[in-house]
Structure 1
């Protein structure tokens, strides 16, 4: 046990550097992907058929293509078209597209969960369609979608482990390199898993608590 702790102590600084990159990718992905999901949700519900079609194609492509394929496409595929992205940029763009596609459906479901009476009331008090959307539907719909969005955010942190396939030195990549040089794969991967768990496990309980809390105050 003491030997294991000494190993972990020696590996921890390198793994924490990789963990920082994982968190940075997650932060950029969510900062871009969730607003993109909101825009796509509005586009899917738009009256214009071309806008709806474009949004649906984007959403279904993003949901249908595995995140690993998107990562490979942006890092290895785009250079063939004359556009080269760094591994960090490729990871952020690919995962943001994936996030936008999935969260658009979560947000759209939140909008549809807003009681119709709320929409009627907004029109009765003189709000036009845009203002009703801004001040009534979006705030309430996002409140309904919030637990799902937070749960998906935890999944995206875990999904950064796929970025080792495009040479991004994130947590799993650092752990794999340490395992390759020391042949101590199990101890270093356990430590990497514990680092993920430090954020993911408490966050999962927090999301469940938030979902229960919001459920008690849901508008009906």
Structure 2
């Protein structure tokens, strides 16, 4: 097979890449704020609510994303809730993202020296202002690299969405393979499409991590 044909396969997969990035972006935009809320509720919420949040996080971490996709897309219609494929995918990915990000955010907040909070209080800042202007900026510096790493993983996992008919890269590659019967070059093209995002993103995470480490 010539390179021109192979690059033609890549071009045919690009619409699927757009869908995968949309799914990842929406899930991160919803999941990360939810993870921050979960992290705070685990530490400050009264016990019944605290237990509910912990249960949500542990289920989200303990259940494979593929299973969550099937639950939302094929399970919920059994109780008369019929989400679209994209809504089901976003729901599953958001839950998984929030669950994995919760502990990262929580541990980052707890790693800020308690003396920082005491100093902010001595300076006259309220508890909320101390959290917003003293604790969170330092916690964010710690949390950003692992959260960016999580974003890359979720982008890679977007390939699972093909099982519920989302037209992302893998579903596009599968249909292209069945049409051309050139499965190896088609799936190599899919690998190249994913790598074109994940390799630069991983290099960016490493660069940011090194830059932040110099300022710790």
Aligned equivalents of 1:116 and 1:133: distance in 2? 11
Aligned equivalents of 1:46 and 1:24: distance in 2? 33
TM-score (structure 1 length as normaliser) = 0.94
| Deviant stretches of 4+, over 6 Å | none
Aligned equivalents of 1:217 and 1:9: distance in 2? 43
Stretch deviating more after TM superposition (78-87 or 41-50) = 41-50
Find the counterpart in structure 2 of residue 70 from structure 1.
68
Q: Which among 144, 147, 154 is matched to residue 145 of structure 2?
A: 147
Pairing of 1:104-183 with structure 2 (within 5 A): 104-183=102-181
Find the counterpart in structure 2 of residue 196 from structure 1.
194
Where does the alignment leave 5 or more consecutive residues of structure 2 unmatched?
none
Find the counterpart in structure 1 of residue 86 from structure 2.
88
SS at match of 2:135: helix
Deviation at 1:124, TM superposition (A): 0.9
Give a deviation string over 1:156-198, Cα, whole Å, max 9, x none: 1101000011011100100011112222111011111111111
Deviation at 1:57, TM superposition (A): 0.6
Over aligned residue pairs, what C-alpha RMSD do you find? Answer: 1.2
SS at match of 1:45: helix
Aligned equivalents of 1:140 and 1:191: distance in 2? 41
Of the two structures, which has the highest relative contact order with CA contacts closer than 8 Å and spacing of 6 or more? 2
Find the counterpart in structure 2 of residue 57 from structure 1.
55
TM-score (structure 2 length as normaliser) = 0.96
SS at match of 1:107: helix
Where does the alignment leave 5 or more consecutive residues of structure 1 unmatched?
none
